[in-house]
Structure formats: C-alpha cells, structure tokens
Amino acid sequence: MLFATLWKARTDITAEQLQQGLPRRMQWHPRGHIQAEYWFIGAQRGDWAGITIADVDDPGQIFEDLGAWADLLEMRTHLCVPVDQGLRMAQQAATAAVTA
C-alpha cells in the first residue's frame, strides 16, 4: 500500500531543535520502503515542507515509522494510488453516479 505524508516543522520547536534532527534523519532506517521523498525549496515556517511516499505491507508500519518524528514534525498521511489507478477509480465512480 502506498501512503503519502506531507510534513512540516512543528510550530512549538526552535530552529535549533529542528537542525538537531538532521543527523537523525541521515541515520533513519524505516521499516517501510520509502519510494520517494521531496523537500520543498523555499517553504516558509508553517508551510508544508516536504512529502514522503512510502510503500508498506501493513498500514501500522507507516505510523510506526513516522511516529519517530512526532517530536519535530506535524504530519498528514493519506493512502494513495498511482494516477492511472486513480483515473480508473474516478471513471468507475462517475459511471456509477450516472447509472444510479
């Protein structure tokens, strides 16, 4: 299952605390497979600062992996699908709505 997690720095931490997380990030080895991670250049404090896409067998894995960052980051995690699958799902929903 694919999960996309948007993340940003918590507003109740200092810039110094956030910087101290960088060495930790370099050592982080999540159980789930990280397919992609992007950091948004120019994001301001309070903006979403990045996105992580993870492929996991058990949804609990993503929450366990990302829970390690709850002291530094605010996160929103969503189950996601590739665009081709999403388009098929949207077409099926539109067809079902028309025939209902």
Q: Which residues contact 14 (CB under 8 A, 6 or more apart)?
A: none
Domains (ranges, CATH) in the chain?
A: 2-99 (3.30.70.1060)
pLDDT of res. 69: 94
Residue 25 has pLDDT above 80, yes or no: yes
pLDDT digits (tens, 9 = 90+) for 28-85: 988 889 999 999 999 988 899 999 999 998 888 988 998 899 999 999 999 999 999 9
The structure's pTM equals 0.83
pLDDT band of residue 6 (cuts 50, 70, 90) is very high
**Tokens for 88?**
């098929």
pLDDT of res. 48: 96
Q: Give the CB-side neighbour count of residue 82, counting CA atoms within 13 A.
A: 4
